[in-house]
Amino acid sequence: MSDSHTPRPARCELSQRFYFEAAHTLERSIDAEGSRRIHGHTYHAEVTLLGNPDPASGMLVDLAYLRREVERLRDRLDHRFLDEVAGLGPATLENLCAFIRADLEPAFPQLCAVSVERQASGDRCRLSW
Protein backbone atom coordinates (compact mmCIF):
# COMPACT_ATOMS: atom_id res chain seq x y z
CA MET A 1 0.00 0.00 0.00
CA SER A 2 1.44 3.40 -0.95
CA ASP A 3 1.03 6.50 1.11
CA SER A 4 -0.52 9.27 -0.96
CA HIS A 5 0.27 11.86 1.70
CA THR A 6 2.72 14.44 0.40
CA PRO A 7 4.60 16.17 3.20
CA ARG A 8 4.17 19.91 3.25
CA PRO A 9 7.34 21.92 2.81
CA ALA A 10 9.23 22.43 6.04
CA ARG A 11 9.53 25.99 7.23
CA CYS A 12 12.95 26.94 8.41
CA GLU A 13 14.53 29.72 10.43
CA LEU A 14 17.82 31.12 9.26
CA SER A 15 19.74 33.46 11.57
CA GLN A 16 22.81 35.63 11.27
CA ARG A 17 24.60 37.05 14.30
CA PHE A 18 26.82 40.10 14.38
CA TYR A 19 28.19 42.56 16.88
CA PHE A 20 29.04 46.21 16.96
CA GLU A 21 30.62 48.56 19.42
CA ALA A 22 29.12 51.96 19.89
CA ALA A 23 28.71 54.86 22.31
CA HIS A 24 25.62 56.81 23.29
CA THR A 25 23.92 58.83 25.98
CA LEU A 26 20.47 58.19 27.37
CA GLU A 27 18.03 60.35 29.29
CA ARG A 28 16.42 58.29 32.05
CA SER A 29 14.83 58.82 35.42
CA ILE A 30 16.73 56.07 37.30
CA ASP A 31 20.49 55.44 37.21
CA ALA A 32 20.49 58.68 35.28
CA GLU A 33 23.93 60.12 36.03
CA GLY A 34 25.97 57.44 34.25
CA SER A 35 23.48 57.13 31.40
CA ARG A 36 23.58 60.83 30.58
CA ARG A 37 27.36 60.73 30.13
CA ILE A 38 28.78 59.34 26.91
CA HIS A 39 29.40 55.64 27.44
CA GLY A 40 29.76 52.60 25.24
CA HIS A 41 28.70 48.99 24.91
CA THR A 42 29.44 45.93 22.85
CA TYR A 43 26.12 44.98 21.30
CA HIS A 44 25.39 41.49 19.99
CA ALA A 45 22.57 41.29 17.46
CA GLU A 46 20.80 38.49 15.64
CA VAL A 47 18.44 38.67 12.70
CA THR A 48 16.16 35.73 11.88
CA LEU A 49 14.39 34.90 8.63
CA LEU A 50 11.49 32.45 8.41
CA GLY A 51 10.11 30.69 5.36
CA ASN A 52 10.22 27.74 3.02
CA PRO A 53 13.50 26.95 1.31
CA ASP A 54 13.54 27.25 -2.46
CA PRO A 55 13.02 23.74 -3.88
CA ALA A 56 15.72 24.17 -6.52
CA SER A 57 18.49 25.65 -4.36
CA GLY A 58 17.47 24.32 -0.96
CA MET A 59 18.11 27.79 0.50
CA LEU A 60 15.78 30.23 2.19
CA VAL A 61 18.21 32.95 1.06
CA ASP A 62 21.81 32.83 -0.02
CA LEU A 63 23.85 33.42 3.14
CA ALA A 64 26.38 35.47 1.19
CA TYR A 65 23.63 37.97 0.36
CA LEU A 66 22.44 38.07 3.98
CA ARG A 67 25.99 38.54 5.26
CA ARG A 68 26.61 41.36 2.78
CA GLU A 69 23.50 43.25 3.91
CA VAL A 70 24.29 42.66 7.59
CA GLU A 71 27.82 43.99 7.06
CA ARG A 72 26.40 47.09 5.34
CA LEU A 73 24.12 47.66 8.34
CA ARG A 74 26.93 46.95 10.80
CA ASP A 75 29.00 49.69 9.16
CA ARG A 76 26.20 52.15 10.01
CA LEU A 77 26.42 51.25 13.72
CA ASP A 78 29.93 50.03 14.53
CA HIS A 79 32.18 52.52 16.31
CA ARG A 80 29.56 55.23 15.97
CA PHE A 81 28.00 57.68 18.38
CA LEU A 82 24.47 56.30 18.24
CA ASP A 83 22.92 59.63 19.23
CA GLU A 84 23.93 60.85 15.75
CA VAL A 85 22.61 57.89 13.71
CA ALA A 86 19.72 59.22 11.62
CA GLY A 87 16.45 57.42 12.20
CA LEU A 88 17.50 55.62 15.39
CA GLY A 89 16.15 57.91 18.09
CA PRO A 90 17.26 57.31 21.68
CA ALA A 91 19.70 54.38 21.64
CA THR A 92 17.59 51.89 23.59
CA LEU A 93 17.66 48.17 22.89
CA GLU A 94 14.08 48.47 21.66
CA ASN A 95 14.94 51.24 19.19
CA LEU A 96 18.01 49.35 17.97
CA CYS A 97 15.83 46.32 17.19
CA ALA A 98 13.32 48.49 15.33
CA PHE A 99 16.13 50.28 13.44
CA ILE A 100 17.68 46.99 12.32
CA ARG A 101 14.27 45.71 11.24
CA ALA A 102 13.54 48.84 9.21
CA ASP A 103 16.95 48.64 7.54
CA LEU A 104 16.86 44.94 6.58
CA GLU A 105 13.18 44.21 5.96
CA PRO A 106 13.05 45.72 2.46
CA ALA A 107 15.75 43.28 1.30
CA PHE A 108 14.43 40.36 3.37
CA PRO A 109 10.64 40.20 3.60
CA GLN A 110 11.15 36.85 5.38
CA LEU A 111 12.64 38.72 8.37
CA CYS A 112 10.64 37.66 11.44
CA ALA A 113 12.75 38.60 14.46
CA VAL A 114 15.60 40.83 15.59
CA SER A 115 17.37 40.67 18.92
CA VAL A 116 19.97 42.96 20.43
CA GLU A 117 21.76 42.30 23.69
CA ARG A 118 24.52 43.63 25.85
CA GLN A 119 26.06 40.44 27.17
CA ALA A 120 28.19 42.17 29.79
CA SER A 121 25.10 43.46 31.61
CA GLY A 122 22.71 40.63 30.70
CA ASP A 123 20.25 42.96 28.93
CA ARG A 124 18.43 41.69 25.86
CA CYS A 125 15.53 42.77 23.67
CA ARG A 126 13.86 40.60 21.04
CA LEU A 127 11.43 42.05 18.52
CA SER A 128 9.35 39.48 16.65
CA TRP A 129 6.31 39.69 14.42
* 67-104 confidence digits (pLDDT tens): 999 999 999 999 999 999 999 999 999 999 999 999 99
| pLDDT greater than 70 at residue 34 | no
Cα–Cα dist 123/117, whole Å: 5
pLDDT of the residue at 67: 98
More confident residue, 29 or 114: 114
Contact 25, 47 (CB under 8 A): no
Cα–Cα dist 7/64, whole Å: 29
